[in-house]
Structure 1
Amino acid sequence: MSVRRSAFREMNEAQLYSYTTVNLGGPKEEVRRLYAGVVRSVALYGAPVWSDRLSGCRRRAATLNAAQRLIAIRVARVYRTISYEAATVLGRFLPLDILVDMIAEIFFKIRGLRQRVDPETIKMLRMRASWRALRRWRERLQ
């Protein structure tokens, strides 16, 4: 699957989601975050396969992040004029380009071990990758 198709699917899901929620009132935060998680799962399907194409091109990352901005605006219940960075911070989402890199890193490290991996090792790899992703996001925001 290509980055463009993934971004297109995420944009469609985001628009469907925005029709079902309203910025004022509407469902509680837990429900909004659940919807956002479903949209994010759809967008990240097959991420390790196309992650290298995303990291090499800013335009592709921007296309993918545009759809995430719509979701973050709905989850955070903010105005549409807010920036992408502010919307993801208030919505408590890692930017998708960073998240894709994190998922690919975990996938290829586990695959590279080429042996039966115990759950503790997987948990440790995920925790280290998430810390690196958060550090990357913090550096980008500064």
Structure 2
Amino acid sequence: MEEDGLTPSLQKTEIVVLTTKRIETCIQLNVEDEMIQTQKAVKHLGIYMDTKLTLWEHIQKAADKVVKTTTGLSRLMANVGGPKPSKRRLLMSVTTSILLYGTEIWADALRIDKYRRRMAGVQRLGVQRVACSYRTVSEPAVLVIAG
């Protein structure tokens, strides 16, 4: 890098060991007399990649972000006398976009029930707002009602 005139900023450097093997992934590396600790996950182009390539970290972070966004949008949409379902659907499309960002990369991870349940639980919050339903309505029913 020095031959090309590039110098890395060691304060901004993040290192993650990507492997499916059962080895220690939290290690310290010495780069130019400075110790850098490897991370459990790193964000690259909006996708969090963890050491075991399970993408659970990404699903958790995306779900948490969607919960915050849904909560904020829910304050705009009262259950009684609020916007019509078409406007509610439009507002909640924001959360769908956040939730589905980078699906081409992590879609295979949804084969695991734990990951799928986390995504479905978050989606349910938004769908309940679109359908103006209560928490007691079943998930399949509220998904059909909300369209």
Per the TM alignment, residue 59 of structure 1 is displaced from its structure 2 partner at its CA by: 1.1
Deviations 1:41-96 (A, max 9, x none): 111111111111122x111111111111111111111112111111111111xxxx
Secondary structure of the residue aligned to 2:117 is helix
Rounded Cα–Cα distance in structure 1 between residues aligned with 2:72 and 2:113? 26
Percent identity for Structure 1 against Structure 2: 33
2:105 to 37, 49, 55: 49
Q: Which runs of 5+ in 2 are unaligned?
A: 1-46, 48-57
Say which structure, 1 or 2, has more relative contact order (CA 8 Å, 6+ apart): 1
Q: What is the aligned length?
A: 91
Q: Which has the larger radius of gyration?
A: 2
Higher fraction of helix: 1
1:60 maps to amino acid = Y
Q: TM-score, normalised by structure 2?
A: 0.58
1:66 to 121, 126, 131: 121
Alignment RMSD, CA only?
A: 1.2
Contact persistence 1:54–1:60 (CA under 8 A): yes
Runs of 4+ in 1 over 3 A off after TM superposition: none
Rounded Cα–Cα distance in structure 2 between residues aligned with 1:86 and 1:62? 16
2:75: which partner in 1? 19
Contact persistence 1:14–1:68 (CA under 8 A): no
Secondary structure of the residue aligned to 2:82 is coil
